[in-house]
Structure formats: C-alpha cells, structure tokens
Amino acid sequence: MKKHLQNIFRKSNQEDKTKFKYVLTQNERNYPHSKDYIEPFFESLSQKDLCFYPNTEKLKEKICKYHNIEQDNLLLTPGSSFGIKTIFETFNVKNKNVITSDYFFPMYQVFSDLYECELRKAKYIDMNLDISDLINLIDKDTQFIILANPNSPLGDVYTKAQIINLLETGIFVIIDEAYLEFTGEESSIALINEYKNLIVTKTFSKAFGAAGCRVGFLVSHKENMKYLNKFRLMYEINSIGAKYTEHILDNIVYFQDYFKEMRDKKSEFVSKMINYGYTIIDTDCSWFFLKRFDSKDNLKYFNDLGMSFRTLTLPDGEEYIKFNYDLNLNNVL
C-alpha cells in the first residue's frame, strides 16, 4: 500500500441527526416541501428505479438546457466532492502545488494529501481575500487554483471580474459553486467557452436540498472534458438521484421562489438577532456567524433549543457559531 496514506487523517462526518430538532451543521434542507411538489415525485417511483441501472440521458438534457451548455461540456458525478476528486486525479499534481485560500472546503486538503501535492493558501484579512494574493502564489509547479464561490465557510462571493482576473493568468481555475444558488449571483459557467482554463463544479445537495441523492456535475470546455471523462464512473449516479434531480429541474420556479424567500427571510432574521443584542457577522450566503461568547456561552443556549451547530475561529481571532439559516427558525426566535 502507499506509505504516505498512513499520515492522512480522515474525520468522520457521521452525526445522529435524529437527536436535534434543527440540524444546522451542513446546510441541509430542514424545511418541508409542499405536498404539490413532493407527492408527484413519490408517486412516480417504481420497482424499475431500484432494479435497473440508471439512464441519465434525460437528466443531462435538462441540466444542459438549464445552464445553456452542450453535453460535451458536462460530466455527472456523485456529488460535487467527487467532481473535485476527479479534477485532482486528472491533473499531474504529485509533487506539484494547488492554490486556494486559508479558509476552504476541507476536502481540498484531503485530496491534496491523497495525491501528494502541496496546498498553498492565500490569507484572509478582515473577512476579505485579495485575489492578487492568490496570483502571487503561482509558480511553475502550480497545477490549478481552486475556490468555492461563495466561499465556505466564510460565505463571501467572488465577483466575475475577480474570477476573470484569475483566469487571465492562464492557470486552470476551479470554481466550486456548491452554494451559489443561495446568493442570486450568476454562475461562472457562462465563461467556459471563452476561458478554456475554467472548470465549474455544481451540486444539487445544498440549495436544492437533495444532499441524500448525491448528484453533482462538472462543467468545462469540451477539450477539457475529453480528459475529465476518462474518470467517469461506469454509472455516474443512482437511478433515484437521477429521477429526483430531473423532478427538481422540472419544477425550477418552485426552487427559484424558495431561494428568494431564503435570502429575504434570512436578512430579516439577522436583523432580529442583532436587535436581541447578539454580535453577528453576516455573509453573502445562507449562513451568518454569531459570536459564541458574549456574556454567556451562546452555543449551550442554542443546543438547549434542539439545534446542532459548528463553531470556528474567524480572521478576527474570535470564536463564532456558524448559524446556517433555515426557514423553520422563524418560529423559534
């Protein structure tokens, strides 16, 4: 076996979510769907969805239509994290380097360690990342830059101009758009034909609330897809996941209304929390940060209400609760 694997630590992300009334740790959807939306999907399921290998052609057609791309630009993956893994496998990263920020999706480090490359990190200052600091880390061994937009966990959005600034370096740029729908911002997918060094990763897990289905995809120029497709699984995703994400795209207005409601209600909720006297740092995404220690340990108070959270230290050096907003919370506080 590969000796370097002995030094790689993989944290378990298993959590007994039945213990909590409000699960706010991984941006999963807690808010129930309307019967008009969800019941037709359940009624459409049959034994064939369990017994037969999946046919994903209809789903690919619908994704391509929604994002105005061709099938040559698309690779389905079981979640966007597998898409990111595929990118690491496709590039010659061993003993080279990959660039990101110092706040990042933890799997970037895991994949860097697995494939034996250095993960270089540009530093956030006051909740902001200077794009030029990423560019300054580039050298002859840099394989690509990878950034979540909006970034996780800080929740800031990189502008189109900033992304183009990175692309103009000629280095491959991977934009991880797992949370983009929460922001209302335009996808970078529109740039794939102009910039052949762009790869965009997407998922149905977060804003679309289908984390259990494990459906994501990569989008890039067709020349890049010839290489990325070499790592395509024999059957990219499962039948029920494919069928459900088709159902999502058939009901896209339902979700667009939900995204807008989430943004509006989250803004109202943050204002309410500030009026209650909490120290809040808001983000461009679906979460905000609440200072853990003011006059008391706020984490215990919210845990007692049946909520699960994650905490982290922000660039100001203080510890905060990452408060993933959910529409259910309007009935709590």
Q: Per-domain residue ranges for the chain?
A: 15-33+261-331, 45-250
Q: What is the pTM of this model?
A: 0.94
Supply the pLDDT for residue 297: 75
Q: In the chain, at which residue ranges do the beta strands (DSSP E only) sit? A: 22-23, 74-77, 97-101, 118-122, 142-148, 172-176, 198-203, 216-220, 280-282, 287-291, 307-308, 310-313, 319-324
- State which fold the 15-33+261-331 domain adopts: Aspartate Aminotransferase, domain 1 (3.90.1150)
Supply the pLDDT for residue 308: 84
**CB neighbour list of residue 256: distance below 8 Å, 6 or more residues apart:** none
CA atoms within 13 A on the CB side of 184: 9
Asked if the domains at 15-33+261-331 and 45-250 fall in one CATH topology, the answer is: no
User: What is the separation of C-alpha 244 from the centre of its chain, rounded to a whole number of angstroms?
Assistant: 19
Q: Which is nearest to 151 in space by CA: 191, 118, 121?
A: 121
Supply the pLDDT for residue 2: 87
Q: Which class does domain 45-250 fall in?
A: alpha beta
Q: What is the pLDDT of residues 141-177, one digit of tens each?
A: 999 999 999 998 999 999 999 999 999 999 999 999 9
∠ CA 280-282-284 to the nearest 5 degrees? 175
Q: In which residue ranges of the chain is pLDDT below 50?
A: none
Q: Is the peptide bond before 78 cis (omega within 30 degrees of 0)?
A: no
Q: What is the pLDDT of residues 73-95, one digit of tens each?
A: 999 999 999 999 999 999 999 99
Q: What is the pLDDT of residues 188-210, one digit of tens each?
A: 999 999 999 999 999 999 999 99
Supply the pLDDT for residue 295: 62
201 φ, ψ (degrees, to nearest 5): -110, 140
